[in-house]
Amino acid sequence: MKICIVSDSHDRAEPLAAAIAEAQRAGAQAVIHCGDLIGANTLRSSLQLGVPIHAVHGNNLGDTMAMHGMMAKTAGLLTYHGQDAELELGGRRIFATHFPHYGRGMACTGDYDLVCCGHSHIAEIIRQPNIKGGQTL
């Protein structure tokens, strides 16, 4: 399963929807947004694409009540998890958070196949050694 991983859209709805649409064309079946969406309206055009979105908040919370209200109206297309999320997508255990230091700590547990985080505005893939003797992406 291909997953679109995005973060730090900061109320920029059009570039977010464009990134998700491009990922959808490449085969993405789900989206993980690692925080700093800010406003619920940031997701309106992205939700029209029909790809399930899992979102956590970051240090720029915006209106969490509006986010929960939008989630209630999407019939399961949007899941707003709060501070962090434990997911199973495509048979993989995934942890999502906004903060890299928290993400790295969770990767060290070896409980997840993939840990996603945002905040740094830098796209990178790290293989984190974990306490189970393996590596977590």
pLDDT tens column, 67-111: 999 999 999 999 999 999 999 999 999 999 999 999 999 999 999
Prediction pTM value = 0.96
Measured between alpha carbons, how far is residue 128 from residues 4, 15, 80, 105 in Å?
Answer: 20, 30, 26, 9
Residue count of the chain, please give it: 137
Residue 54, SS3 per DSSP: strand
Q: What is the CATH number of the domain that holds 89?
A: 3.60.21.10
Region of 78 on the Ramachandran plot (φ > 0 left; ψ -120 to 50 alpha; else beta):
beta
Residue 102's domain comprises 2-136
Measured between alpha carbons, how far is residue 31 from residues 28, 45, 109, 128 in Å?
Answer: 8, 14, 24, 22
Place of tokens 């973060």: 7
What single string gives the DSSP state of each residue in 79-111?
EEEES-EEEEETTEEEEE-S-HHHHHHHHHTT-
Count of the separate structural domains present in the chain: 1
Residue 30 is predicted with a pLDDT of 98
Residue 110 is predicted with a pLDDT of 98
| 39-51 pLDDT per residue, tens | 999 999 999 999 9
